[in-house]
Chain A
């Protein structure tokens, strides 16, 4: 009888006590969730995307519901890398869960400056790794543009690779013609892992006013609505790269996470579910445990890519 299956996984050299991370942008800077869950129970925390300088973000409305999903156009509002280091990371020092910083830039130079700065403080502030956001659909410059082209993906990842030894996770955009090509470029450029998918670009219209429901006109779709798309992309990328994959997209409960793992994900990120149920990541961890026990699987790693066709 297996009643204590192994949940530990390793991503990009980062040891996680379980494969459940929080997705950037849905988990604030971590501390917001401490009234609801024990942050030490998480596999890892990926914090709100950070830029070199503080960013004020887009005008409201920034979030709109769509069938089984939501569109957001926050516009990367964030405190900037210095305030992150000084204030937000300091608050997290008391926890033992690996902290991964999601970084964004308008230019390669900005990515490099942030990565360098975080590299400098990575030991004192216990930064486990970087997630490179080359896939945000809601900012005017940079963002998704990097991740929609194999060459620019290579360029930005490779440049960051050169200046830091921190584990690099590259977060891919689904808004591309061939996700495999982009994933391959990221791997070639030195990424240690790939996370996917970021949100799908979309829009919604108020038919009474004939105006877009989001002030930004378009936004990124997330939630259960995108899960089939995300799963298909994870499966494709799994067949393309050797580095570990982190599955993201509409994971609300353990069953969703398990689908991603079977499709090839080594770990998963819970995103939009955090906005509905702050306890969601913990429930997902518990559910995975139960599933493994029920199926008598002694190690979560055996589930990765176990899809039978």
Chain B
């Protein structure tokens, strides 16, 4: 786009009501939660997140950033999908239908689906599928041909497979132990799909960093545009504290010794071009 000025995005601090809650996987515990949040739903786009205050008091102190899993603009609802990993998500999982949540959002840049793209590849590892269902829905609404690859440790941890399929995507699954469909890493599956000749115009991924890094190599080799959803320990979520940074290559500054800079995952991301991320960590 010629216009370099960033569009002002509306971020709200608001109370939203939980209208739905379901534990979809046990050990590790994964929950799907529906929130009545018409203002957020109205603004939200796939790849953005909301920043949730999980505690009533000062422990844990900070908010928790969670991807928007599904956006229903007509009903004014959004869904979040989260795994219980620490004190914050534990408290969140204890909330019940009818409870209110204090949230900031929608935050972040969101995925960029190019109008000219015809074929979209979506790759999710583990709980990394969280932001991808909304993306899948958005892609299909734009009449793209969508394939989804889901990676999980074992069959019981494969999440949202049917939901992607119901949207109209072709879904394949890779499990580390081979207990369901393809045995091996989801990145191996991606390589196989490419080798078989299904070449996407864009790859989108979210999941563990080694997976994201490997997909970057695959995408570079196959010359496919690749966007990735990153995460980092986050403070404010509104771009002020500079806590949640990641290394991003600097462009067009050859004379400088440093070839990267720290960009904020919260508002400069969380979606970055795979090719601009410094994957050394």
Chain A residues within 8 Å of B, Cβ to Cβ: 25-28, 32-33, 35-36, 48, 56-57, 59-65, 67-70, 72, 74, 77, 223-224, 252, 272, 274-279
Contact = CB atoms under 8 A, between A and B. Distances in A.
A72 B240 contact: no
B200 to A, nearest CB: 30
A63 B244 contact: yes
Interface stretch (B60-68, B130-138, B151-159, B210-218): B60-68
B53 A276 contact: yes
Given A36-B13, A77-B262, A278-B13, A28 B240 contact: yes
- Chain B interface size band reads 20 to 34
B58 interface: yes
A276 B62 contact: yes
Contact of A63 (B13, B243, B281): B243
Main secondary structure on B side of the interface with A: loop
A182 B233 CA distance: 34
Interface in B250-281: 258, 261-262, 281
Contacts of A64: 233
Interface centre among A63, A274, A277 (most CB of B within 10 A): A63
B206 interface: no
Contact of B11 (A35, A48, A223, A274): A35
Given A35-B11, A57-B262, A274 B236 contact: yes
26 contacts: A28-B239, A28-B241, A33-B238, A33-B240, A48-B242, A56-B258, A59-B247, A60-B233, A60-B262, A61-B233, A62-B245, A63-B243, A63-B244, A64-B233, A67-B59, A68-B58, A69-B61, A70-B62, A74-B241, A74-B242, A224-B61, A275-B236, A275-B241, A276-B53, A276-B62, A279-B13
Given A26-B241, A57-B262, 14 more contacts: A26-B240, A32-B239, A56-B262, A60-B244, A62-B244, A63-B62, A63-B233, A65-B62, A69-B61, A72-B243, A77-B262, A223-B58, A274-B240, A276-B62
Interface in B23-67: 53, 58-63
A55 to B, nearest CB: 10
A275 B262 contact: no
Nearest to A72: B243
Contacts of A36: 11, 13, 238
The 4 closest A-B pairs by CB, nearest first: A28-B240, A63-B243, A275-B236, A32-B240
Interface string B222-249: 0000000000111110111111111100
A72 B235 contact: yes
A69 B58 CA distance: 8
A65 B59 CA distance: 9
Contacts of B243: 62-63, 72, 74, 275
Contacts of B61: 65, 68-70, 223-224, 272, 276
Contacts of B235: 63, 70, 72, 275
A223 B247 CA distance: 27
A223 B243 CA distance: 15
A14 B50 CA distance: 38
Nearest to B63: A276
Interface centre among B12, B59, B281 (most CB of A within 10 A): B59
A72 B58 CA distance: 17
Contact of A62 (B12, B233, B240): B233
Nearest to B247: A59
A277 B235 CA distance: 11
B194 interface: no
A48 B241 CA distance: 8
Contact of A57 (B62, B234, B245): B245
Contacts of A276: 53, 61-63, 236
A163 to B, nearest CB: 29
Contacts of B232: 60-61
A25 B243 CA distance: 10
Contacts of B169: none
B107 to A, nearest CB: 11
A281 to B, nearest CB: 13
A272 B60 CA distance: 13
B186 interface: no
Nearest to B12: A35
A25 B236 CA distance: 11
B244 A275 contact: no
B89 to A, nearest CB: 13
B144 to A, nearest CB: 32
Contacts of B91: none
A62 B59 contact: no
B104 interface: yes
A63 B244 CA distance: 7
B258 A63 contact: no
Contacts of A223: 58, 61
Contacts of B233: 60-64
Nearest to B245: A60
A77 B260 CA distance: 13
A102 B97 CA distance: 45
Interface centre among B10, B58, B234, B258 (most CB of A within 10 A): B58
Nearest to A32: B240
